[in-house]
Homo-oligomer: A and B are copies of this chain.
Amino acid sequence: MLETTALACERGGMRLFSDLGVALQAGGLLRVRGNNGSGKTTLLRTLAGLTRPAAGSVRWRGEPIGDDFRREMLFLGHAAAVKDEMTVSENLEFSSRISCLDVAESKIRDALECLGIVRLADLPARYLSQGQRKRAALARLALSASVPLWLLDEPFSALDDEAIARVSALCAAHLAAGGMVVLTSHQDIPIAAADARAIEMRG
């Protein structure tokens, strides 16, 4: 469904990678590995359509990625996209709304429950700790079962062991239901997947 052909990316005039071809089918998990600065974030942003590739293209269901693709994709980057002034549940509501997801009150609470932060639902995000903030951002995963493709940039950083288990369980469930996950991570978190692959950036 998602495939890249001869993808190349440049930053500041330097090739980060080139001639990258990956293809991901329903139920597939792709781990992007590599040292600091090897281009993992750049690759994910290119897949999401945020960064223009220097060469090659990204295709979704055979078409170049465009407006339709954005309906079927969820991208969570380094930045948590959590607004300090809004409460945790308001934040989740807005980010789901903007992705055209269902935002019934009860679903929101279930999603927060799922990440173990339902206790903080009405706390303004300003007061969250680093890890709680990350959890608040990841709570969207629990609402996005219907979104086929998940692109997650270091979802496990700043999380404690309990949260890591919760998030990897969410990913595993998504894969089992025929979803696709692309993730970068420096930690080796086990995720149950029928079709798991890894690519190593720059050797």
Enumerate chain A interface residues (CB-CB to B < 8 A).
Answer: 11-12, 34-37, 41, 78, 120, 123, 127-132, 134-135, 154, 157-163, 186-187
Given contacts A11-B127, A78-B130, A130-B78, contact A36 B186 (CB under 8 A): no
- Report copies per complex: 2
Given contacts A12-B127, A127-B11, A157-B157, contact A132 B37 (CB under 8 A): yes
21 contacts between A and B (CB under 8 A): A35-B160, A35-B162, A36-B129, A36-B130, A36-B132, A36-B134, A36-B135, A36-B158, A36-B159, A36-B160, A37-B120, A37-B129, A37-B131, A37-B132, A41-B130, A78-B130, A157-B157, A158-B186, A159-B186, A161-B186, A187-B187
CB distance from A53 to the nearest CB of B (A): 18
CB distance from A25 to the nearest CB of B (A): 29
Residues of chain B within 8 A (CB-CB) of A11 are: 127
Complex: how many Å from CA A9 to CA B35? 38
Complex: how many Å from CA A37 to CA B160? 10
B128 and A37 within 8 A (CB): yes
Residues of chain B within 8 A (CB-CB) of A160 are: 34-36, 186
Residues of chain B within 8 A (CB-CB) of A161 are: 186
Given contacts A158-B157, A187-B187, contact A36 B163 (CB under 8 A): yes
